Structure 1
Amino acid sequence: SLVSSCLCNICFFACMTQCFFPSTFTVDVLLKAVGDTPIMKTKKWAVDRGRTVQSLAQFISRFLKLDANEQLFIYVHQSFAPSPDQEVGVLFDCFGSDGKLVLHYCKSQAWG
């Protein structure tokens, strides 16, 4: 039928788009430590565009095995801290360059 044919075409297009254009769903994020904050051995990560800054901070805290009472601050361009509910994809669109978004993380307030 026409409806099932259209749905199959839509599913096919969605699968092909995800396979051949994965950057539409994820962005490359380069994470850099500041000050005495532990350095992550893996610095470049593919992050879902819809992931929030808060969830990224929680991921980094767990990855570094920080104590629950330790805060983690995230900065864009070593100048400002984005809102915790800001999506990584929007930050990439506004402040990304050379195909990646550079974020700095630290355990104490550093900028802005």
Structure 2
Amino acid sequence: MSQRLIESESESGTDQSEVRDPSDGVKNKLEDYTRRLSQLGLDLDSDSNSNSNSSSFMVEEAQKQKTVDHQLTKQGTPGGKITIRFQPIGAISAVRPAACKISAEQHFSAVVLFLKRRVKVDTVFCYISNSFAPSPQQQVGDLWRQFKVNDELIVCYCATVAFG
């Protein structure tokens, strides 16, 4: 049962008190929106029930997409960890072992810090698959999902600027 509001004389600007249904405002807005769309030739369904059904469908689809995105972060990796394979460029020492695992939620700056400590240098330049240098704030899981090769993220590193 819908709740009804009583509008007094001062609120409505009329001499009589009237009873108003709160859903009337929403219906009026939907009708106005539909009228504007029809003027533009973009008329959707004229039935307001189908409009509300499509709105709830879009909300449900957005929630499903969030769930799928969250699952993709950890997909293919046990415990939400991804594999990074390190490849040296130039005259910098190689990291042993060449592959390691890191949490998908970690920022790329953690990878850079790991390499600095492991190779014992003050500065290291990292590139994803010999093509670009990611932002230190970028999440490793996002990079892995977009640029993985054989379920590994290839991180090339060197002591001097190699590209760009």
**TM-score range relative to shorter protein:** 0.7 to 0.9
How many residues matched?
Answer: 89
* Residues 1:90 and 2:139 aligned together: no
Deviation for aligned residue 1:23: 3.0
Deviation for aligned residue 1:28: 0.6
Distance 2:84 2:141 in 1: 10
* Residues 1:28 and 2:83 aligned together: yes
2:116 to 61, 71, 84: 61
1:79 to 126, 131, 151: 131
**Higher RCO, 1 vs 2 (CA within 8 Å, ≥6 residues apart):** 1
User: Between Structure 1 and Structure 2, which shows a larger proportion of helix residues?
Assistant: 2
Structure whose CA Rg is larger: 2
Residue range with higher mean Cα deviation, 21-30 or 73-82:
21-30
Deviation for aligned residue 1:24: 5.2
Residue range with higher mean Cα deviation, 23-32 or 99-108:
23-32
SS at match of 1:58: helix
Distance 1:31 1:22 in 2: 18
Distance 2:149 2:135 in 1: 20
TM-score (norm 1): 0.73
- Structure 1 unmatched runs, 5+: 1-20
**1:30-71 deviation digits (Å, cap 9, x = unpaired):** 0111101111121010111011111111111111222xxx31
- Structure 2 unmatched runs, 5+: 1-75
Q: Which residue of 2 aligns with 1:41?
A: 96
Q: Which residue of 2 aligns with 1:11?
A: none
Query: After the TM superposition, which segments of 4 or more aligned residues of structure 1 sit over 4 Å from their partners?
Result: none
Identity of aligned residues (%): 25
Distance 2:131 2:151 in 1: 20
TM-score (norm 2): 0.51
Q: Which residue of 1 aligns with 2:154?
A: 102
Q: Which residue of 1 aligns with 2:3?
A: none
